[in-house]
Amino acid sequence: MGNIIDLFHVDFKLLLAQMVNFAIVFAVLYFVALKPLLAAMHERSEKIEKSLSDARRIENRLEEAENEYQAKVGEARREAMAIMEKSQAQAEEKRKEILARAKLEIGQAINEEKEKLRREKAKVLTELKKEAGSLVALSLEKILGGQKQPEFDRRIIDKMKK
C-alpha cells in the first residue's frame, strides 16, 4: 500500500485538511443553502397539498351546484308544464263557455224570430179572415140582391173566423 501512496503522491495531512475544509463547507452550505431550501420545499409541498385539497373541495361544491342547478331546472320545467296544462285547460273551458253562450244566443235569436213569425202569421191570418169575411159578406149581398140579413151575415163571419 505504501507503493500506491507513493505512486499517487497522497499526503495524509493534506487529505485531513481537505476533509476538515469539506466538513466546514458542507456545514456552511447545509445551514446557509440546504436547510432553507428544504424548508422552502416543505412549505411548497404543504401549499401544493392545500391547493389540491381546495381543488377537491371546490370540485365537490361545483358538483353540488350542478346538481342543485339540474334540480331547479327540472322543477322549473315541471312548473312550466303545469302552467301550460292549466292554461290549456282554462282555454278549453273558455272555448266551451263561449260555444255554449253562442248556442244559447243563437237559440234565443231563433226563438225570437219564431215568435215574431208566429205573431205575423196570426196577424196576417186575422187580417185574411176579416178580408174573407167582408168579401163573403159583399158577395152574399150581391147574390141576395141587397137584402140585409145581419144575423145570417154574422153566422157566416163567425164560421169563417174558425
* pTM across the whole model: 0.41
Q: What mean pLDDT, rounded, does the chain reach? A: 88
Cβ atoms of residues 157 and 137 within 8 Å: yes
CA 142 to chain centroid: 89
pLDDT in tens, 84-110: 999 999 999 999 999 999 999 999 999
Q: What is the pLDDT of residues 119-145, one digit of tens each?
A: 999 999 888 888 887 787 777 777 766
Give which of 102, 161, 103, 93 is closest to 127, Cα–Cα: 161
Alpha-carbon distance 53 to 49, whole Å?
6
As a whole number of angstroms, the distance between CA 89 and CA 86 comes to 5
Q: Per the structure block, which three cell numbers stand in for 10?
A: 497522497
Confidence category of residue 159, pLDDT binned at 50, 70, 90: confident
E-strand spans in the chain?
none
DSSP class of 30: I
Banded model confidence at residue 48, pLDDT cuts 50, 70, 90: very high
